[in-house]
Structures are given as C-alpha cells and as structure tokens.
C-alpha cells in the first residue's frame, strides 16, 4: 500500500479492552479521585459537581477518573485518537471461578 493512498483514506481501528480491577482501599481511591477532579482546570462547574457526586456514590465512579484513553495511544507513530468513551461499573467477580466470563451478559 502506498503512503499516498493511506493518507487519502483514513482507517479507523476500534480497540476494545476489558479490565477487572480490585479496589483494595476505597477511601484512598476516593481521596485521589476527588483531588484529581478538584485540580482539573478544564472541568466546567456542572461537570465537576457530577464527577464529585459519582466519586462519592461508588468506587467505580472514582476509577473512571483515572482512565486516560489518550495515554493508551501516546507514542504510537501515525495514530491519532478519533473518539473515546468508557464506563466503569461494579461487577460480581470471583477470581477462583474458572467459569466466570468477562463478556457475560447479565
């Protein structure tokens, strides 16, 4: 494939990553997430209030504030982030259960 044709027709790649994280210190996570949100100069007041509420309600909401999809693609030559979305949610996970499926529908 020539460089010319690849520049004329951008190609998009969807990355799907599934992670299960164990929260071992909920208070430390909450404090760190609140600090990050309070120091984020780009958040509008309404967004900041929503973020603080999410952090205070659920550890999953706190984890979401540490996800940086831009960092996943940083340093990859010829790649730019086109769009990103992610969500965090509590999940029933048993590391000892071999039948547990990451993509299991509830």
Mean local confidence (pLDDT), 14-19: 88
Q: Distances from the Cα of 28 to the Cαs of 3, 25, 34, 98, in angstroms?
A: 49, 5, 10, 30
Sign of CA dihedral 70, 51, 49, 38: negative
Residue 97 lies in a domain: no
User: Residue 42 domain-assigned?
Assistant: yes
CA 55 to chain centre: 14
Domain boundaries, position 61? 25-81
What confidence tens digit (pLDDT) does each residue in 40-73 have? 999 999 999 999 999 999 999 899 889 888 898 9
pLDDT at residue 6, rounded to an integer: 52
% of the chain residues with pLDDT over 70: 88
Do 30 and 55 form a contact (C-beta atoms < 8 A)? yes
Q: Give domain status of residue 20, yes or no.
A: no
Q: Is 55 helix (H, G, I), strand (E, B) or coil?
A: helix
pLDDT reading at 12 higher than 80:
yes
**Widest Cα–Cα separation across the chain:** 53
Distance, CA of 31 to CA of 84 (rounded, Å)? 25
Within-domain flag for 8: no
Number of domains in the chain: 1
Q: Is residue 34 part of a domain?
A: yes
């Amino acid at each position: 494939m020539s460089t010319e044709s690849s520049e004329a027709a951008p190609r998009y790649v969807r990355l799907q990553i599934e992670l299960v994280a164990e929260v071992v210190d909920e208070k430390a996570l909450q404090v760190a997430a609140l600090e990050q949100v309070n120091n984020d100069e780009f958040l509008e007041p309404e967004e900041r209030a929503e973020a603080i509420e999410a952090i205070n309600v659920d550890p999953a909401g706190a984890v979401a504030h540490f996800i940086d999809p831009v960092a996943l693609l940083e340093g990859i030559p010829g790649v730019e982030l086109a769009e990103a979305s992610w969500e965090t949610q509590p999940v029933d996970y048993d590391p000892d259960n071999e039948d547990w499926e990451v993509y299991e529908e509830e």
